[in-house]
Amino acid sequence: MTIPEKSRRSFLKSGGTVFGASWLAINMPLILSASQAAEENQQAGAAYENLSAEEAVELGAWVNQIIPADDTPGATEIGVVYFIDAALGGFMASAAPVLRQGLDEFQQKTQSSYPQFNRFSELSFEQQTEMIKSVEDTPLFEMLHLMTLCGMFCLPSYGGNRENAGWNLIGFDHRHAWQPPFGYYDAAVHGEASVGGDEHEHV
Amino acid sequence: MSTSKQQPKYNTREEVDFVIIGSGAAGGVLAKELSTNGFSVVVLEQGQYRTAANFKHDELDVMFKNELLNHPGWNDPQTFRRFETETAVQTPDAPPPAFYARGVGGSSVHFTANYWRFHQSDFMERSLLGPMEGTGFADWPIRYEELEPYYAKVEWECGVSGQPGPFEAPRSRPYPVPPLPVKSSGVLFEKGARAMGLHPQPAPMAILSKPHNGRPACVHCGFCMGFGCEVNAKSSTLAAMIPLAEATGRCEIRPLSTVFRIETNDAGRVTEVVYLDSEGREQAQRAKAVVLSANGAETPRLLFLSESNRSPNGLANSSGIVGKYLMGNGHSVTQAAFEHPLNEFKSVQVTRIVHDFYENDPARGFYGGGGMDARPFLDSTPIMHAMTGLPPGKPRWGLEFKQMLRHYFTHKMSVLGSTTSVPLARNNITLDPNMKDDKGRAAIRMTYMDHADDLAMATFLQDRAVEILGAAGAKEVWRDPVEGGSIQAHLLGTCRMGNDPATSVVDKYHRAHDVPNLFICDGSSFVSSGRGQPTMTIQALAFRAAEHISRFAKNGEI
């Protein structure tokens, strides 16, 4: 296979602290049980295992800036905070101190910009957007960006991607087998109706 | 996780005929061939024994947590630098510089399965083109015609889907099964390439399009590049070779067994292989002969770790070139979006290729050649798409980002160009002087920067890709930067074969020039890099090596 140089750069930018590979290998059984618990928690709307209620609210505001709600759900509704909660108790445990320190510093920055508010989550959506723009080049942003994307599109057993909502959003249909035609442009070759709900010209 | 009841249990203190180090593309073939030929074989594999039932559609696990890559017992770091004047550094948690899968079947478990035969020219470009000053540019000691029967063996015994293309060398047998069904990326690539006057062809893939040798056809699940196959349709040695080795009753596979030294006696012969077993205990398996198939990074590492008074620079290294001439194949990636859905998350990566630019062409002004293919590449799974699949200069977060994900995931493809790598002594695998793994073994240090001609060839292919995608009707086309690779999945050339012991590590039969009962066969044996898809040739070499090694053993010539 060919190597995703870009994904490597993203790892570098996130400070290289998100995934603790060796820790992971040794603790796999623990992780699996933790993620099953996360899925159950998410479905039951239960309390968080590793995040305080306050941290969960702040993270919810953060991840909803990265994937906001519109006519479809945003990252929070899709379960990204539950994913982060489980991950911080599992395979991302080594990232927890870095994340918490970053959030503390961000909170101080927020308060100095908006002294009338106590927390980032109390700002208006537009004010939150401005705050995140000011930290776009930091490891905190890269870490939460990566965690949000993982929580959006991981297997639901990790606590995110609730009822496949992340996958449904982008048109990823998870099945264990497919038959041709696969897409619009190979439908004519395979002699079947076109794919993708589009009956215009074939290529 | 699985061991066959048919496996023997050899006593480590009794000599077996062969210890094979590594169970990947080469080691798996050698295990099957040598045990089938009547020899007792112990295979030492540092990874787990997973089977199809253990593989999952878990992108986070495979692509981000490196589940198939990590050492299963302990931290085994690597370091990287571009040039020998720099200090190599480790990047914790990023994909490792030497990128290979650990586990029975090795990297054949997670590979993309492009199976291009080399062309005749690949074995003799030094003779055809003349010397390249300051490089290790050389002919192979064998020719295509000598390897051809073994290419056919790979296609039939491992299982390759395809049909002969317009540029390939003569073949003795047709492909056993037809090409896989074309995807939208293949249709578009073919259309664009034909419009440019090129000659696209179905991609030869080591993934079964029809049932073959008792294995099922691909179900087009899409979790292919980087993943283990859940139905055994991908022709890994795990699926195609290891079961046959086990069925002989003469082959013992020992997973979770990490070799750290090959012992030699005063006569300069290998006596035993020392390893840490699944419990972390030191073991030593005696053997009449050893086959080293650990991959182009681990093989030289182990030779260095096996230094002795007789071989102070590493076992089998009187030439001083063990680890040198590392070749990784240059790449360029060109991404494109189309009006209608392609749904490239379904099925295998590649269904169409172009080999019009395979041969060297002096008119280009630089050495090299390459192949092109159409594939989803990193858009086959959602997280990788979200991280790497959107056009440059666009927002990475917020509503517009979300809306782009909704559009692009299903509407995209890429064209990948793969190129030659000029063999250079400055590109190499050595032991890191400062970094060790948790068991005290010196870490792999990779030093690598592509030759300017390799990058020029990659850019040339990217220019063609832009033209092809435009001719195919792409709405948007963008280029990933062409730059020196810092992660190599093709680990080639570090124990090159040759007739002269002063300039090569193994002879044309893969026997170490310095050690009569040590054979080395994997990507490290390569003299030139080919055009970007090496595993087919690694396996043809392994089938050929097994035949000669068996002959030597039967004749008492080891």
pLDDT digits (tens, 9 = 90+) for B402-437: 999 999 999 999 999 999 999 999 999 999 999 999
C-alpha span between B227 and B223 (Å, rounded): 6
The amino acid that residue B150 corresponds to is Y
The torsion angle over the Cα atoms of residues B112, A184, B405 and B401, rounded to 10 degrees, is 130
C-alpha span between A165 and A179 (Å, rounded): 24
**Tokens for B449?**
């920067």
**Using the beta-carbon criterion (under 8 Å), do B487 and A3 form an inter-chain contact?**
yes
C-alpha span between B19 and B173 (Å, rounded): 32
Contacting residues of B for A155, CB less than 8 Å apart: 56-60
**Using the beta-carbon criterion (under 8 Å), do B388 and A174 form an inter-chain contact?**
no
What are the E-state strand segments in B362-507?
A: 370-375, 412-419, 428-436, 442-447, 476-479
C-alpha span between B100 and B220 (Å, rounded): 24
Report CA B36 to chain centroid distance, whole Å: 24
C-alpha span between B69 and B186 (Å, rounded): 30
Four-residue CA torsion sign, A99, A101, A106, A111: positive
Q: Which B positions 62-91 lie with beta carbon below 8 A of chain A?
A: 63-66, 70-75, 91
User: Could you tell me if B4 lies within 8 Å of chain A, comparing CB atoms?
Assistant: no
**Using the beta-carbon criterion (under 8 Å), do A21 and B347 form an inter-chain contact?**
no
Comparing CB atoms, the residue among B57, B91, B438 nearest residue A16 is: B91
Beta bridge partners of B445: B79, B430
The Cβ of residue A53 has, within 10 Å, a number of other Cβ atoms equal to: 8
C-alpha span between B240 and B237 (Å, rounded): 5
Of B383, B435, B478, B480, which to mutate for an interface test with A (greatest number of A Cβ within 10 Å)?
B383
Burial code (b: 16+ CB inside 10 Å, e: under 16) for B144-158 equals beebbebbbbbbbbb
Burial code (b: 16+ CB inside 10 Å, e: under 16) for B249-267 equals ebbbbbbbbbbbbbbbeee
Of B343, B352, B446, which to mutate for an interface test with A (greatest number of A Cβ within 10 Å)?
B343
Kindly report whether the global pTM for this prediction surpasses the value 0.90. Answer: yes
User: Could you tell me if B60 lies within 8 Å of chain A, comparing CB atoms?
Assistant: yes
Instruction: Specify the pLDDT at position A91.
Output: 85
Going by the DSSP 8-state scheme, the letter that residue B199 receives in this structure is -
What is the DSSP annotation of B402-415?
HHHHHHHHHHEEEE
C-alpha span between B501 and B266 (Å, rounded): 20
C-alpha span between A103 and A55 (Å, rounded): 9
The torsion angle over the Cα atoms of residues B62, B65, B71 and B74, rounded to 10 degrees, is -160
User: Could you tell me if B405 lies within 8 Å of chain A, comparing CB atoms?
Assistant: yes
Tens-digit pLDDT string for chain B (558 aa): 445 557 999 999 999 999 999 999 999 999 999 999 999 999 999 999 999 999 999 999 998 888 999 999 999 999 999 999 999 999 876 789 999 999 999 999 999 999 999 999 999 999 999 999 999 999 999 999 999 999 999 999 999 999 999 999 999 999 999 999 999 999 999 999 999 999 999 999 999 999 999 999 999 999 999 999 999 999 999 999 999 999 999 999 999 999 999 999 999 999 999 999 999 999 999 999 999 999 999 999 999 999 999 999 999 999 999 999 999 999 999 999 999 999 999 999 999 999 999 999 999 999 999 999 999 999 999 999 999 999 999 999 999 999 999 999 999 999 999 999 999 999 999 999 999 999 999 999 999 999 999 999 999 999 999 999 999 999 999 999 999 988 999 999 999 999 999 999 999 999 999 999 999 999 999 999 999 999 999 999 999 999 999 999 999 999
**Using the beta-carbon criterion (under 8 Å), do B94 and A180 form an inter-chain contact?**
no
| Minimal CA separation from A118 to chain B, in Å | 24
Contacting residues of B for A198, CB less than 8 Å apart: 340-341
Closest C-alpha to A60, from A168, A148, A131: A148
C-alpha span between B109 and B50 (Å, rounded): 10
Q: How far apart are the first and last CA of chain B?
A: 35
Under 8 Å between Cβ of B417 and B358: no
Per DSSP, helices labelled H in B107-175 are 125-129, 144-153
**C-alpha Rg value of chain B to the nearest Å:** 22
**Tokens for A90?**
């599992």
Comparing CB atoms, the residue among A154, A170, A195 nearest residue B409 is: A170
**Using the beta-carbon criterion (under 8 Å), do B489 and A1 form an inter-chain contact?**
yes
The amino acid that residue B41 corresponds to is V
| Mean model confidence pLDDT for chain B | 97
**Using the beta-carbon criterion (under 8 Å), do B402 and A203 form an inter-chain contact?**
no
Closest C-alpha to B134, from B487, B451, B514: B451
Look-up of token digits 């280009």? B364
C-alpha span between B269 and B289 (Å, rounded): 9
Q: Count of CB contacts below 8 A, A vs B?
A: 220
Comparing CB atoms, the residue among B75, B112, B345 nearest residue A22 is: B75
Per DSSP, helices labelled H in B210-266 are 237-240, 242-247
**Using the beta-carbon criterion (under 8 Å), do B70 and A24 form an inter-chain contact?**
yes
User: Could you tell me if B221 lies within 8 Å of chain A, comparing CB atoms?
Assistant: yes
* Angle between helix B452-471 and helix B184-195 axes, rounded to 10 deg: 100
**Using the beta-carbon criterion (under 8 Å), do A5 and B486 form an inter-chain contact?**
yes
Contacting residues of B for A5, CB less than 8 Å apart: 480, 483, 485-487
pLDDT of B7-44, one tens digit each? 999 999 999 999 999 999 999 999 999 999 999 999 99
C-alpha span between B236 and B107 (Å, rounded): 8
